[in-house]
Structure 1
Amino acid sequence: MIASACFTTLLFLLLSQDASGAPTASPTVVGRSMPIRRLSPSSQNLTLVAQQAKDQRDILGVKYGGQLLQQRGTGYNLYHTFADRTCFNSYYGTIAIGTPPVSYDVILDTGSSDLWLTSSICGPGCGTSPTYDPAKSSSFQNLSTPFEISYGSGAVAGYVAEETVQMAGFEVAKQGFGVVNALSSAFNTNPVSGIMGLAWSPLSSTQQTPFWQTLASGGSWDSALFGVQLTRYGNVSNAAQNEPGGVIDLGYTNSSLYTGSIEYHNLVGTPQYWEINMNTLTVQGKSIDIAGISTAIIDTGTTNIAGPASAVASIYAQIPGSQAGTGQLDGYYTYPCSTTVNVQFNFGGNTWSMSPADFTHSQVSTTECLGAFFIASFGSGGPSWVIGDAFLKNVYSVFKYSPASVGFAALSETAISQNGIKAAVPSPTIGAVTAATNTGAASSASSGAVSSGPLSTLLCFWLASTSIAFLFW
């Protein structure tokens, strides 16, 4: 049965190519998956951990603290987020940009809405990551609009341009993005060259429609949503700086990675962030007072979990021996590493547990650990909570275009088995684009990356690869 199905798949692949061997238009566009990677600091000494903790707190203060768009009147677009670039762990994936396409690694950030890359003329502050060279692309167009990125204690400067951008086998022509010419300090960590914002267009400082939103609204996806599964390495003592980080599924939900149904929660207000209501929070079996109606932004670009001072203090009050941090650790808490901490979230339906391994962010002494929850105040216009990867590693998360909502599902054994594995880091690929779009119109094209939806299709492609060249992760 499988052999027959695979022969049919192989025959279809052969017939769908023209005389030159290039793929022709596919009659049906399905979802696609792209492997993502996890980037962790090479050192975990206390000085580094403390500096990164301070950076995370400062960055979130700018990202969600109401300092938005304050310079637009002067001709600059203030980019109000730098994601969690320097803080602890980051999850990143590959895009291809330009003509001919060149691959770059970017942080995947559901807490911002802009795509930007460091340019070839960026100074020493841009680090050692690969940089984008406009002169090498025939599809580059400079829109001659300057922008400035403000974050924490530094800034980024550049201009807005348009390019052909590919990700996970999908393509958007004339995608607006930021070309960064200057950074105030070396924030880029090799191999990451920029950020792919996965939130909504009202947040875009470059005033461009995000890549994902163009595809979702233009009919390029089988389903107008994307799913994310993140791997855990926090409890693996010999984890390398780069490890397989999970997967992002564009245009479909990957049923091999979750069990049961997906529980969706509508966004709060007009879609900007992926912000939903949070009903209850339980720590060590005790309900934490979260001050009535609380909202939570679901943010893959943030490592830990930020919340109001009173609620965070109540969390650690349930853990004997906890102590409030000082200095660069102000707003954080330490607690005895020997304590197993159980946390449960409820957003209006099922109760979702967070692994004790994810509550332990890092070890700061032989007996003391740094907790994943920290204090952040976002002002009257900000959210109550920002929930990052410490929670998201425990669920399969879905970000839906219409109705605008966030969904959670229980991880399958297949997904759980990927935690902590020692495996080669996936390499970026540029293969065949399954769907291309320009200003929201879906069409077919050739040239991009990756694997398609159903597992049976992947198996057939793998078996067929002995007879036909095809790129997969």
Structure 2
Amino acid sequence: MHLLPYSLAVSCFLSIANDYALAAPSPSSSPLPRSIPLMRRSRPRRNSTELSGWLKSQKEILEAKYSNNPQRKRASGLNLLTNQNADSSFYGSIAVGTPAVSYNVILDTGSSDLWLAASDGVSTDSDGIPTFDSSSSSTFTDLNTTFSISYGSGAARGTLGQDTVQFAGFEVDSQVFGVVTQVSSGLLNSPVSGLMGLGFQTIAASGATPFWQALVENGNTLDSPLMAFQLTRFNDVNNAQSLEPGGTFNLGAVNSSLFTGDIDYQDIPDGQEGYWIQQLAGLTVNGNSVDVGSGSAAYAAIDTGTTLVGGPEDVISALYDAIPGSEALTGQNSGYWTYPCSTNVNVTLRFGSSSIAWPVSNEDFLLEQASQDTCVGAFFALNTSGTSAPAWIVGDTFLKNVYTVFRASPASVGFAQLSDTALSMNGALGSAPSPTVGSVAATISGSSTGTGTDRSSSANGAARATLNTLGMWAVALTSGLVGGAMILL
């Protein structure tokens, strides 16, 4: 663990938030599994001012992201992910335009818009960030409609465009996305160029059908109407590099080598399709039960684009009350708690009608060591009052501990126990996957442009992964990478 003077460590924690932060089918080839690698970047050494700023911005980003979002055959693809900044974020890779060019994007199940930084407005303020040049694509169409996304730490603005997009071995030839010409400082961090929202169309700022949903609605493209994530853990590895192998993303199928037993699916509550909502039904801390309430007060968005876990202040306070020696922080770090680093904290979460209590390991609960004896917890109080946002946002702190499946029909989220193969990837240092352009399994056309209103919210071939040579990756990806896209999440 990285030790910091206590007064400084708390402040430097918050500053890293900015790092975290279709239609008819026409198969072009026989269905093949497709894959995208995930990769992760090692944790930077932060001073106390940076720590406090990170904690503050992490909370603000989440509150802004959810308060601004309004509610409204066949093949499968597998991609390796990239773990960035010691579990701060996980990103993937897409290919856009004709000829196709690859871009790294955050894969975010907590929003629904795709957007990329544009070469004519962002490059001067975004050092080292690859940008999209619409003039270089023969298939790009400018929709002449404004586009805006707001976060707690900043905003991205531009216009809507339409072009061919490839992802995980699939192609949508007229996907609507934001071409962003104004980005607040620190909102993007190299080598990430934008974000791909994997939520439902009802919360899309652009009104456009998300890439994944277009494939599902087509009906004859995916083997199964689902997406699946397995994320790696490096936050407890001191010598982790800034980018490390991050796990796997599957589109249209699950990877049975990465989990054991059955996938426990729980339906999204009626009328809540927008975010991937689950009702939190149980919470324990070191075996002690904490009351989480019921109904909408216990709704939780399962969000791959969020690092931590946020929840109602009274429940989070009760959680830390069950940890002897814990203490609420104040000032700009209000909403966070510290606790003795010598305490092993094991949290479990239970969803819907399931009897299964899913774990959050001590390694993931320990967000940062603030002093020799004091640590900051990864669960924090989230203020969503007066908004349509769910009471809980469950991010990667939890998702690193389970195999997670997002299923469109019936609309549900499933969890399963990670296999030994998946667990062996935690802390296994390796090279980041390299995206290239490959072939696609299926193509659809005619993406819906939606209303194109300006409101706040958070060429041939697909981006392809060069697999890590580690034996564990080879085992996990035996189901096939042929022509697949690499997702660096």
- Pairwise same-fold verdict (TM > 0.5): yes
Query: Could you give the per-residue CA deviations for residues 272-323 of structure 1, whole angstroms, max 9, x where no partner exists?
Result: 0000111000001111011233111100011000001111011111111111
Question: How far is 1:36 from its partner?
Answer: 1.4
Paired position in structure 1 for 2:111:
112
Identity in percent: 46
Paired position in structure 2 for 1:273:
275
- Tell me, yes or no, if the aligned pair for 1:127 and 1:188 is still in contact at 8 Å: no
Moved over 3 A (4+): 67-70, 85-88, 123-127, 455-462, 470-473
Question: How far is 1:261 from its partner?
Answer: 0.5
- Tell me, yes or no, if the aligned pair for 1:37 and 1:426 is still in contact at 8 Å: yes
Q: Aligned AA for 1:429?
A: T
Paired position in structure 1 for 2:314:
310
- What secondary structure is seen at the aligned counterpart in 2 of 1:279? strand
Q: Separation in 1 of the partners of 2:94 and 2:153?
A: 29
1:87/1:144 CA distance change after superposition, 3 Å: farther
Q: Aligned AA for 1:26?
A: S
1:41/1:183 CA distance change after superposition, 3 Å: farther
1:316/1:427 CA distance change after superposition, 3 Å: same
Question: How far is 1:266 from its partner?
Answer: 0.7
1:101/1:385 CA distance change after superposition, 3 Å: same
**Structure with the larger RCO, 1 or 2 (CA within 8 Å, 6+ apart):** 2
Query: Could you give the per-residue CA deviations for residues 146-166 of structure 1, whole angstroms, max 9, x where no partner exists?
Result: 122222253221000001001
2:359 is aligned with 1:353 = yes
Question: How far is 1:127 from its partner?
Answer: 3.8
TM-score normalised by length of structure 2 = 0.81
Q: Separation in 1 of the partners of 2:86 and 2:61?
A: 9
Question: How far is 1:225 from its partner?
Answer: 0.4
Q: Separation in 1 of the partners of 2:408 and 2:29?
A: 24
Within the candidate set 27, 35, 38, 2:37 is matched to 35
Q: Aligned AA for 2:179?
A: V
Paired position in structure 1 for 2:3:
none
Question: How far is 1:186 from its partner?
Answer: 2.9
Question: How far is 1:69 from its partner?
Answer: 5.8
1:363/1:166 CA distance change after superposition, 3 Å: same
Query: Could you give the per-residue CA deviations for residues 237-282 of structure 1, whole angstroms, max 9, x where no partner exists?
Result: 1111111111100110100000000010111233100001110000
Q: Separation in 1 of the partners of 2:89 and 2:405?
A: 19
2:374 is aligned with 1:368 = yes
1:96/1:438 CA distance change after superposition, 3 Å: same
Paired position in structure 2 for 1:102:
101
Paired position in structure 2 for 1:167:
167
Query: Could you give the per-residue CA deviations for residues 117-151 of structure 1, whole angstroms, max 9, x where no partner exists?
Result: 00001244334310000011001100000122222
Within the candidate set 395, 398, 401, 1:394 is matched to 401
Paired position in structure 2 for 1:12:
none
TM-score normalised by length of structure 1 = 0.84
- What secondary structure is seen at the aligned counterpart in 1 of 2:51? helix
Within the candidate set 291, 301, 305, 1:297 is matched to 301
1:156/1:406 CA distance change after superposition, 3 Å: same
Q: Aligned AA for 1:171?
A: E
- Tell me, yes or no, if the aligned pair for 2:43 and 2:235 is still in contact at 8 Å: no
2:46 is aligned with 1:47 = no
Within the candidate set 366, 370, 390, 1:383 is matched to 390
Paired position in structure 2 for 1:422:
429
Q: CA RMSD in A?
A: 2.6
Paired position in structure 2 for 1:134:
134
Paired position in structure 1 for 2:468:
none
Q: Aligned AA for 2:142?
A: N
1:163/1:40 CA distance change after superposition, 3 Å: farther
- Tell me, yes or no, if the aligned pair for 1:142 and 1:160 is still in contact at 8 Å: yes
- Tell me, yes or no, if the aligned pair for 1:283 and 1:315 is still in contact at 8 Å: yes
- Tell me, yes or no, if the aligned pair for 1:30 and 1:221 is still in contact at 8 Å: no
Which deviates the most, 432-441 or 347-356?
Answer: 432-441
Paired position in structure 2 for 1:343:
347
1:86/1:207 CA distance change after superposition, 3 Å: farther
Query: Could you give the per-residue CA deviations for residues 8-59 of structure 1, whole angstroms, max 9, x where no partner exists?
Result: xxxxxxxxxxxxxxxx9433x2442211122354223332222121111111
Q: Separation in 2 of the partners of 1:59 and 1:459?
A: 38
Q: Aligned AA for 2:223?
A: D
Paired position in structure 1 for 2:469:
none
- Tell me, yes or no, if the aligned pair for 1:162 and 1:174 is still in contact at 8 Å: yes
Q: Separation in 2 of the partners of 1:186 and 1:343?
A: 32
Paired position in structure 1 for 2:190:
190
- Tell me, yes or no, if the aligned pair for 2:337 and 2:380 is still in contact at 8 Å: yes
- Tell me, yes or no, if the aligned pair for 1:31 and 1:221 is still in contact at 8 Å: no
